[in-house]
């Protein structure tokens, strides 16, 4: 179950999207959020730190987000991983799900999509 002190890590090579995601999660009540725009720094961090929830971009500069998803699930099988992208083709959504993602969000109306996902998981917010 997610709590306000749940560790959340966001990886998106577009800093504005990562920042917007973080702001939305902070408004909901989450307090422990880290943003990464570099896959290398993200990988270094994950090697030494666990998280409860990840938000990963599918299309990263020079990297495939689905490969990163597989790596994260291998390292931290109990973590929830949500993929997000402007590209929401059914084959991508299906593959992400097969690799262990618990959600796939469109970057369009991201705030609304994050809240809908949390509602689906019965996360009450604002968190206290």
Tell me the per-residue pLDDT of 113-127, one tens digit each, with 9 for 90 and over.
999 999 898 887 777
pLDDT score of 100: 97
pLDDT score of 6: 94
Beta bridge partners of 10: 35, 55
Mean pLDDT of 104-110: 92
Tell me the C-alpha distance between 107 and 114, whole Å: 10
Task: Output the pTM of the full model.
Answer: 0.94
The pLDDT-based confidence of 128 (bands split at 50, 70, 90) is low
Mean pLDDT of 105-115: 92
User: Which tokens hold the place of 124?
Assistant: 């009450």
Tell me the C-alpha distance between 100 and 128, whole Å: 29
User: Which tokens hold the place of 101?
Assistant: 């993602």
Mean pLDDT of 36-53: 94
Mean pLDDT of 36-51: 94
């Amino acid at each position: 179950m997610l709590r306000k002190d749940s560790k959340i890590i966001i990886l998106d090579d577009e800093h504005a999207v990562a920042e917007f995601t973080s702001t939305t999660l902070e408004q909901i009540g989450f307090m422990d959020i880290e943003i990464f725009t570099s896959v290398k720094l993200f990988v270094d961090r994950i090697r030494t730190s666990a998280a409860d929830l990840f938000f990963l971009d599918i299309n990263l500069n020079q990297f495939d987000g689905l490969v990163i998803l597989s790596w994260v699930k291998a390292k931290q099988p109990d973590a929830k991983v949500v993929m997000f992208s402007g590209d929401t083709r059914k084959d991508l959504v299906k593959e992400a799900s097969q690799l262990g993602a618990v959600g796939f969000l469109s970057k369009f109306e991201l705030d609304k999509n994050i809240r809908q996902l949390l509602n689906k998981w019965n996360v009450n917010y604002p968190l206290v």
